[in-house]
Amino acid sequence: MKLKTRVSIVVPVYGAFDEAKLCIERVLRFAPADASVRVIDDCSPEGIFEMWLPGSIRNDNRVVFSRN
């Protein structure tokens, strides 16, 4: 029996929203379809990171947001 490896990718964010958005877009493009992408906003002073992202990322089932 072959076990399937599940991948979780963590993207920590503190400001630099443009760079983080680009990073998340690339991760979603190249990661396995069943990978989970966890975006953790470490209390960025600019506001809640999730609000800055386009709907295509916010609505992707693979992406989970949390704010530290």
CA distance 47 to 41: 10
Residue 1 has pLDDT above 70, yes or no: no
> Domain-by-domain residue ranges, the chain?
8-67
Q: What is the pLDDT of residue 8?
A: 93
The percent of residues in the chain predicted with pLDDT above 90, rounded, is: 31
Q: What is the pLDDT of residue 5?
A: 67
Letter for the amino acid at 26?
R
Name the H helices within 1-68: 17-30, 49-52, 55-58
CA distance 31 to 10: 12
Mean pLDDT on 48-52? 71
Mean pLDDT on 13-26? 89
SS3 helix, strand, coil % of the chain, rounded to 5? 30, 25, 45
Mean pLDDT on 49-54? 73
Quick one: tokens of 67? 């704010």
